[in-house]
């Protein structure tokens, strides 16, 4: 087990990583499981740190014992919950994250093994800081370019002077989120909209124009320039509808989601999303089949 304890500064070796989270869906009980995973590593570091404490020359035995007790009890993990209404709650125990006691409209959760030790003047060499950003993108957003990646700050950061502690902490968190990842991470990446616009948006807009022309041409004896303007306008309208549907899809399938029973939850809108998409896809497939040269 490699550690800096007892080594001169020129032999110190430190490890650190900052790992952004991919798309994931967590249940409310997962917050408690995540706290337990992080807190177990905090206790492991505490058991290695406590023997390093020594009695100072200006301390009595009782004062040293009291300081040991304070330090020992400070080796906990802090959890801070922020809600969309501006309320912030902080707890330093696993029971704080019981599903029955969690507030509604959770916007973010911050886990930190570092903050409980800072008031004692201790800067831990081994620490974990994890931030879960449950902020939802707007369902219909015309203020931000859709080609940009979804804004989400979810990540975990590990720092350690102990190679074994660092490796096991990193592996534990990676495995935890690996089991909760979703296959929609691509939807939130930068440039996704541009690729989908070229591969789907423009063809769908042309397909829409084709069906629109079948309805307009027999009944509209318009001058050529009016027809041209009408088709250009409806083509651009179709592209904007595609942009709205893309933005709505990012909201329906958020990058990092906490499962809830709220009626406004994006999870409950997936039926609406499917009811809109399935008929369009079915009609498109039907038109393609009609064009195939069957014998």
Where among 134, 154, 182 does a domain terminate? 182
Last residue of a domain, one of 119, 153, 182: 182
* Full DSSP string of the chain: ----TT--GGG---EEEEEE--SEEE-HHHHHHHHHHHHHHHHHHHHHHGGG----TT--HHHHHHHHHHHHHH-S-EEEEEETTS-EEEESSGGGG-GGGPPSSEEEEEEESSTTTGGGT---SSEEEEEEE-PPPPSS-SSS-TTSPPP---EEEEEES-HHHHHHHHHHHHHHHHTTB-TTGGGGSTTHHHHHIIIIIHHHHHHHHHHHHHHHTTT----HHHHHHHHHHHHHHHHHHHHHHHHHHHHHS-SEEE----TT-GGGGHHHHHHHHHHHHHHHHHHHHHHS---
**Domain end residue (candidates: 182, 197, 224):** 182
In which band, very low, low, confident or very high, does the pLDDT at 224 lie, cut at 50, 70 and 90? Answer: confident
How does residue 39 score in pLDDT terms, banded at 50, 70 and 90?
very high
Q: Do 135 and 200 lie in a common domain? A: no
Are 151 and 13 found together in one domain?
yes
Check: CB of residue 116 under 8 Å from CB of residue 93: no
Judged by average pLDDT, the poorest of 123-132, 197-206, 267-276 is 267-276
pLDDT one-digit tens code per residue, 244-260: 999 999 998 999 999 87
Residues 136 and 150 grouped into a single domain: yes
Strands 256-258 and 24-26: parallel
Instruction: Indicate if 134 and 221 belong to the same structural domain.
Output: no
Q: What is the pLDDT of residues 147-187, one digit of tens each?
A: 999 999 999 999 999 889 999 999 999 999 999 999 999 99
Does residue 154 belong to any structural domain of this protein?
yes
Do 173 and 193 reside in the same domain of the chain? no
User: Taking a C-beta distance cutoff of 8 angstroms, is the pair 108, 82 a contact?
Assistant: yes
Cα separations (Å) of 113 from 95, 159, 181? 16, 11, 24
Q: pLDDT tens, 101-117?
A: 899 889 999 999 999 99
- 220 shares its domain with 159: no
Question: Largest Cα–Cα distance in the chain?
Answer: 101
Q: Are residues 160 and 254 in the same domain?
A: no
In a domain, 2, yes or no: no
236 domain residue, yes or no: yes
170 and 285 in a single domain? The answer is no
Are 266 and 136 a contacting pair, CB within 8 Å? yes
Say if CB 28 and CB 259 are below 8 A apart.
yes
pLDDT beyond 50 at 1: no
Domain presence at residue 212: yes
Q: Is residue 207 part of a domain?
A: yes
Q: Once rounded to an integer, what is the mean pLDDT over residues 46-57?
A: 89
Q: Which domain holds residue 119?
A: 9-182
pLDDT at 4: 54
Calculate what percentage of the chain has a pLDDT beyond 70.
91
Q: For residues 203 and 236, state if they share a domain.
A: yes
* Residue 228 confidence class, pLDDT cut points 50, 70, 90: confident
Region 11-15: what's the mean pLDDT? 70
Q: Give the pLDDT of residue 10.
A: 47
Give CA–CA dist 259/117, Å, rounded. Answer: 32
Q: Do 114 and 197 reside in the same domain of the chain? A: no
- What pTM, to 2 d.p., does this model score? 0.84
| Residue 3 located in a structural domain | no
Q: How many structural domains compose the chain?
A: 2
What pLDDT sits at residue 21?
95
- Looking at the structure, tell me whether residues 270 and 154 fall in a common domain: no
pLDDT at position 215 is 81
Share of the chain above pLDDT 90, in %: 54
Has residue 131 got a pLDDT over 70?
yes
Mean pLDDT across the chain: 87
Question: What pLDDT score does 241 carry?
Answer: 92
Is residue 240 domain-shared with residue 145, that is, in the same domain? no
172 is a domain residue? yes
Evaluate whether residue 216 is within a structural domain: yes
């Amino acid at each position: 087990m490699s550690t800096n304890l007892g080594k001169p500064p020129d032999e110190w070796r430190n490890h650190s990583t900052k790992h952004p989270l991919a798309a994931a869906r967590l249940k409310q009980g997962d917050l408690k499981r995540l706290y337990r995973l992080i807190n177990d590593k905090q206790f492991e570091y505490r058991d290695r740190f406590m023997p390093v404490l020594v009695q100072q020359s200006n301390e009595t035995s009782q004062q040293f014992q009291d300081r040991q007790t304070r330090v020992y009890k400070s080796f906990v993990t802090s959890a801070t919950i922020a809600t969309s209404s501006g309320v912030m709650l902080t707890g330093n125990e696993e029971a704080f994250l019981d599903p029955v006691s969690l507030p509604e409209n959770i916007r973010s959760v911050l886990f930190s093994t570092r903050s409980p030790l800072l008031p004692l003047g201790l800067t831990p060499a081994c620490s974990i800081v994890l931030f879960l950003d449950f902020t939802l993108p707007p369902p219909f957003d015309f203020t931000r370019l859709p080609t940009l990646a979804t804004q989400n700050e979810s990540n975990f950061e590990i720092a350690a002077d102990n190679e074994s502690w660092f490796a096991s902490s990193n592996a534990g968190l990676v495995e935890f989120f690996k089991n909760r990842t979703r296959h929609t991470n691509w939807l939130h990446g930068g440039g996704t909209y541009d690729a989908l616009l070229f591969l789907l948006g423009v063809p769908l807009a042309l397909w829409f124009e084709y069906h629109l022309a079948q309805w307009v041409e027999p009944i509209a004896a318009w001058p050529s320039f009016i027809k041209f303007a009408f088709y250009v306008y409806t083509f651009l309208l179709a592209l904007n509808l595609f942009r709205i549907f893309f933005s709505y899809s990012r909201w329906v399938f958020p990058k990092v989601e906490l499962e809830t029973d709220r009626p406004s939850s994006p999870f409950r809108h997936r039926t609406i999303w499917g009811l809109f998409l399935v008929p369009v896809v079915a009609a498109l497939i039907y038109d393609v089949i009609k064009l195939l040269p069957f014998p």
